[in-house]
Amino acid sequence: MATQAELDDPLYNLRLTIISNNTPILTNTPEPTTSSDTVLSLANATHISFNNGSSHKNFSLTEPTRFAPNSKPIDLRSIYFAWTNKDAQITDYHAAVQELNEELPSGAGGSVQNLSLAQRLELFSWLSGETEVAESIAPVEGGSAEHGAAGDAAAIARGDVSGTKGTGGAKAGESGRLSQIYGGERTMGDHNSILRGSKPTDFSQYRKIASTFLSSRSKPSSNPTASIPHNPTLVSSLKKPSRRIEQPIILLSPSASSLLRMSNVKSFLENGVFIPPNTTDSQSTNFLQMTRNLPSISSQDLRFILVDSTAMFKPPYWSRVVAVFTTGQPWQFKSYKYPNPIELFAHYPGIYVGWEGETEPDNVKAWGRGVMPVKVDKWMGSEKGRWRDREVVERIWGRIEEGMKRGGWTREGPGLAVGAAAR
């Protein structure tokens, strides 16, 4: 039997609900009494109700749980949302979290947290009953029966009745405990099984390349290319070591009110034609590439990366950022290297795109010369007559090019400039 401490624990109730294939109920009140108290959207819900047999428990979705990776407890809403999106790809999951945060009554940048792939896998294994112990989940205080009751439920769900506690005395209890311990073990493979993977791989082409080098060992030569004259590709690669050129990054605003989104920004910055984001048929994405010639920076076309999220950013990427588009909403910068807008736009050129005839937001004005406001003609339902769009685009690229020169990007190549900036 579960203890009272476990019955009062939201994470324990969620696990039992998942194992028993029950569906929790989302509500907008801590004590639901009628069907009008239930909601379908997680953005409109404030509480969640679990019905596990004779136990009926309601919990606030903002309540912190025992799942605390990096010693930071994750709230119940974030965990429940992660479970409902357990089959989503990592990019789709991050996009869904961002969308839910914007729908929450607290406004954009709400409380739902992004869980990493490793954290989600650990959480899902424990919630589904596949494992009895998780490193990031603390035990219930005073809940000695958690592993027994929850473990038995998981064993029954798997069809394994040998590991459940019954009336068979000490031996049955010991067997159940051993099953729980074994269930928490991870199967480790040797180097052969890890390298081979789950399906055979044909390495014949690599053997041919390796044999070229191995045969040359029996014929020493002062010329490193003399032993492989029959392979022009290898000779060329030895003569001309490649240099990786870093691509500059442009950050877009993820706000739904932004006039430039991932669906229309390439048409605008590359072709000089503005089309509202809600009128395009482009598929949603959070990563784009485009080219632009900036004569003062490079004699060749530069390839730019455009993203609207920093969820996958690594620290070195910030030295490659050359522009930040904003709608004037400070929540956009919460995950940035410089969350303070004044400090951010002292390092990176800021750009605000608004409608012609409308005044830019007060925040944009307050951020001063760090943000350049530009205006596009209002959309009249057609691309005809939008000759001013190209003029606006040229102003934007002029600001980006000026910022790149000030940041150390030169005609010697963006890769060298980034390296110098990083040092």
Distance, in Å, from the CA atom of 112 to the CA atom of 75, rounded to the nearest integer, reads 8
- CB of 310 closer than 8 Å to CB of 333: no
- CB of 367 closer than 8 Å to CB of 348: no
**DSSP assignments along 85-106, one per residue:** TTTS-HHHHHHHHHHHHHHSTT
Q: Where are the extended beta strands (E) located within 256-320?
A: 288-292, 302-307
- CB of 329 closer than 8 Å to CB of 363: yes
* pLDDT on residue 296: 84
Q: Please state the domain extents for the chain.
A: 4-183, 249-422
Distance, in Å, from the CA atom of 51 to the CA atom of 57, rounded to the nearest integer, reads 7
Spans of the chain below 50 pLDDT: 108-109, 145-172, 225-229, 234-235, 237-238, 240-243, 413-423
Q: Residue 342: CB partners within 8 Å, gap ≥ 6?
A: 367, 368, 370
What are the backbone dihedrals phi and psi of residue 98, each rounded to the nearest 5 degrees, phi first?
A: -65, -40
The top-level CATH class assigned to 249-422 is alpha beta
**Rg of the chain on CA atoms, in Å:** 29
> Position 156: which residue type?
I
CA angle (294, 297, 298) in 5-degree steps: 80
Count of Cβ atoms closer than 10 Å to residue 144 Cβ: 13
- CB of 254 closer than 8 Å to CB of 98: yes
Distance, in Å, from the CA atom of 71 to the CA atom of 235, rounded to the nearest integer, reads 53
Q: Where are the extended beta strands (E) located within 276-337?
A: 288-292, 302-307, 321-325
> Position 219: which residue type?
K
What are the backbone dihedrals phi and psi of residue 71, each rounded to the nearest 5 degrees, phi first?
A: 65, 25
Distance, in Å, from the CA atom of 94 to the CA atom of 48, rounded to the nearest integer, reads 23
Distance, in Å, from the CA atom of 275 to the CA atom of 272, rounded to the nearest integer, reads 10
DSSP run (H or E) holding 120: helix 117-127
Distance, in Å, from the CA atom of 228 to the CA atom of 234, rounded to the nearest integer, reads 8
* pLDDT on residue 284: 64
- CB of 388 closer than 8 Å to CB of 375: no
DSSP run (H or E) holding 11: helix 10-19
Buried b (16+ CB within 10 A) or exposed e, 287-326: ebebebebeebbeeebebbbbbbbbebeeebbbbbbbbbb
> Position 199: which residue type?
K
* pLDDT on residue 249: 94
First-to-last C-alpha distance (Å) of the chain: 61
- CB of 406 closer than 8 Å to CB of 399: no
- CB of 277 closer than 8 Å to CB of 349: no
Distance, in Å, from the CA atom of 325 to the CA atom of 277, rounded to the nearest integer, reads 15
Give the single-character DSSP code of 130: S
Distance, in Å, from the CA atom of 243 to the CA atom of 36, rounded to the nearest integer, reads 64
Q: Where are the extended beta strands (E) located within 207-287?
A: 249-251
* pLDDT on residue 187: 61
Question: Which among 281, 263, 272, 269 is positioned nearest to 386, based on CA atoms?
Answer: 272
Cα 267 to its chain centre, rounded Å, is 25
The pTM score is 0.44
CA angle (18, 22, 28) in 5-degree steps: 100
Cα 408 to its chain centre, rounded Å, is 30
